[in-house]
A and B are shown apart, each in its own frame.
Chain A
Amino acid sequence: KQEVTQIPAALSVPEGENLVLNCSFTDSAIYNLQWFRQDPGKGLTSLLLIQSSQREQTSGRLNASLDKSSGRSTLYIAASQPGDSATYLCAVPMEYGNKLVFGAGTILRVKS
């Protein structure tokens, strides 16, 4: 059974700091990994999708890495801004299915 763990559960940083969010998964037989953000009262917004053959993906100030063999992914946010405050979730699909399994998320607060 695939289990996804995110650390830390919550993080509060001053504006401008670089930060790292962690995601680990128990079954490395995945074909991609996705990072999402969720703002209060809203759905999830896809940030980055890393294919299993890739090591990292970048979008603006966001960089996600994937180490499939060790079952880990990190989301790096550079020069954090108050607008980055949200819950960040990672999700992996099952190898032979399309169901995404989500972590519980990291609640990020960037203080101005």
Chain B
Amino acid sequence: GAGVSQSPSNKVTEKGKDVELRCDPISGHTALYWYRQSLGQGLEFLIYFQGNSAPDKSGLPSDRFSAERTGGSVSTLTIQRTQQEDSAVYLCASSRGRNSPLHFGNGTRLTVT
């Protein structure tokens, strides 16, 4: 596609429910990142994929968070038993490699009620 696509754009869920957030990176981009942006906060790194492997998952806040990438393309971020503090905009980005610009999607705004 022309850019990084994320779905859904908005998600409202009840506390305790599980959610899945999807990212379609730009075709041919081997690197994929998930970041989180909370209101009034900076961008918080969550996880990095190179191909289907995740060499850096140091930013995942707890074991309720997991992510996978299949076929070197689509990635899914799953949050189990959501809490109110999980409310944020979840941003996905992709690039060709470490010395290439990062391209971001428009994010998924998650609201946990």
Contacts and interface: CB of A to CB of B under 8 A. Distances in A.
| Chain B associates with chain A | yes
Interface of A: 31-32, 34, 36, 41-46, 49, 51, 89, 91, 93, 97-105
Contacts of B98: 31-32, 93, 98
Interface of B: 4, 31, 33, 35, 42-43, 45, 48, 50, 55-56, 58-59, 91, 93, 98-107
Contact of A102 (B42, B55, B56, B105): B42
A102 B37 CA distance: 11
Nearest to A39: B106
Contacts of B107: 42-43
Given A32-B99, A99-B45, A105-B42, A44 B59 contact: no
B105 A43 contact: yes
19 contacts: A31-B99, A32-B98, A41-B106, A43-B4, A43-B91, A43-B93, A43-B106, A44-B93, A46-B101, A89-B43, A97-B48, A97-B56, A98-B31, A98-B56, A99-B45, A99-B58, A100-B45, A102-B43, A103-B42
Contacts of A101: 45
A42 B106 contact: yes
A2 B82 CA distance: 30
Given A44-B93, A49-B100, A102-B43, 4 more contacts: A46-B104, A98-B48, A98-B56, A101-B45
A99 B33 CA distance: 8
Name, among A31, A91, A98, A103, the residue most crowded by chain B CB atoms within 10 Å (CB to CB). Answer: A98
Contacts of B45: 99-101
A17 B74 CA distance: 43
A14 B56 CA distance: 43
Contact of B101 (A31, A34, A89): A34
Contacts of A46: 101-104
